[in-house]
Structure 1
Amino acid sequence: MRHDLAAAREKTLPDVLAPGLDVVFCGINPGLYSAATGHHFARPGNRFWPALHLGGFTPTRLAPAEQDQLLLHGLGLTNLVPRATARADELTDAELRAGAVRLTGIAEEYRPKVIAVVGVTAYRTAFDRKKAAIGEQADLIADSGLWVLPNPSGLNAHYQLPALGDAFAELRSAIDR
């Protein structure tokens, strides 16, 4: 199936949210492939769905088209910046900072146990935490815990799939405690 990626530029994806979830995973922004398909983390090669399963959040590896099933597992999805771009570096610092405000509103409205931002560089800019590292953050967002996970994009060579799964599993373990 071919998707018109150029037509997907600037499109947005609907959030997958409900009150009282365990975790809301927050991507940086939709890529063109995700916007074209209407599914979060949809580009082949994105490792979000396998890492989610390896981390113990889902009993099977879900496909992007099954994203609404996340709600059954107490999980949700959103993005810091709603608009689709070809690359995250097309976003401005102001857009990322506005995304932190947007994410705070989501935390206040939906009250998840944890917000997990998927991408440390975007998190550092959005929340003005220049030295933030992967893992649990000292700050809360509204009353929700705050975690930073590695970006699961296939372009992130710093984290291979087993290490991504381990980072997701650390969050899963913390929630289970």
Structure 2
Amino acid sequence: MPPILTDLIIKDLTVIFCGINPGLKSAWDGHHFSGRSNRFWKVLYQAGFTPYEIEALNDATILDFGYGLTTAVARATSRADELSKEEFDNSIETFKIKMTRFQPQYIAFLGKPAYMAFSGKKQIMWGHQPEDFCGAKVWVLPNPSGLNRGFTLADFIVHYRQLLNAIKIDTLH
């Protein structure tokens, strides 16, 4: 059984990026988004969140920028669709406790499945969601997994940059 991937989280983050669950490679490596085909670090940099592209090996440096990483479900799989509805249901309380304890300003769910499971909604749009979750504003962004072929790199950058722009606007108020 693969090890549990440790969250990168501290109190009062600007954004906690929430993956659906760890990929097997990330769990074994002990670093978030370490799969060769995963585009998270490239997208984060190109969208303007970080001044350089963080390497998965240095994933903890994301905390230096006010961002953190967690997953909705802790169990690592090769594909997120291997998770059961029960696994999401059993993860909700733990996730809520974590968000309440650490109080990020924003939760960015990477992909729709986790937020759909946690919110109970059958349909959601990409981007900002109308209700908060544990006091945080919610955004749903495309999942950067290499298995997600529905989005180009440019598409990802547009979606992630919209979140960054919203954060900048909130900061001005």
* Short-chain TM bin: over 0.9
1:59-78 mapped onto 2 (5 Å cutoff): 59-78=51-70
User: Structure 1 residues 147, 100: closer, same or farther in 2, change over 3 A?
Assistant: farther
Structure 1 unmatched runs, 5+ = 1-6
Query: 1:115–1:145: 8 Å Cα contact kept in structure 2?
Result: yes
TM-score relative to the length of structure 2: 0.93
Q: Distance in 2 between matches of 1:163 and 1:154?
A: 14
Say whether 1:154 aligns with 2:146.
yes
Which residue does 1:168 correspond to in 2?
160
| Pairing partner for 1:54 from 39, 46, 52 | 46
Q: Distance in 1 between matches of 2:162 and 2:101?
A: 26
Which contiguous aligned blocks of 4+ residues in structure 1 show a shift greater than 2 angstroms?
97-103
Which residue does 1:143 correspond to in 2?
135
Which residue does 2:27 correspond to in 1?
35
Number of aligned positions between the proteins: 169
Q: Which amino acid aligns with 1:107?
A: M
TM-score relative to the length of structure 1: 0.91
Query: 1:98–1:126: 8 Å Cα contact kept in structure 2?
Result: no
SS in structure 1 of the partner of residue 74 of structure 2: coil
SS in structure 1 of the partner of residue 107 of structure 2: strand
Query: 2:20–2:113: 8 Å Cα contact kept in structure 1?
Result: no
Q: Distance in 1 between matches of 2:132 and 2:97?
A: 13
Q: CA deviation at 1:124?
A: 1.5
Which residue does 2:75 correspond to in 1?
83
Per-residue Cα deviation, 1:107-126 (whole angstroms, up to 9, x for no partner) = 21011110111011332233
Name which of structure 1's ranges 69-78 and 96-105 shifts more when overlaid on structure 2.
Answer: 96-105
**C-alpha root-mean-square deviation of aligned residues, in Å?**
1.2
Q: Distance in 1 between matches of 2:8 and 2:112?
A: 22
Per-residue Cα deviation, 1:42-81 (whole angstroms, up to 9, x for no partner) = 1001011111111111000111111111111000000000
Q: Distance in 1 between matches of 2:163 and 2:42?
A: 15
Query: 1:40–1:67: 8 Å Cα contact kept in structure 2?
Result: yes
Q: Which amino acid aligns with 2:92?
A: A
Q: Distance in 1 between matches of 2:118 and 2:90?
A: 7
| Pairing partner for 1:44 from 28, 36, 39 | 36
Query: 1:100–1:127: 8 Å Cα contact kept in structure 2?
Result: no
Q: Distance in 2 between matches of 1:73 and 1:30?
A: 22
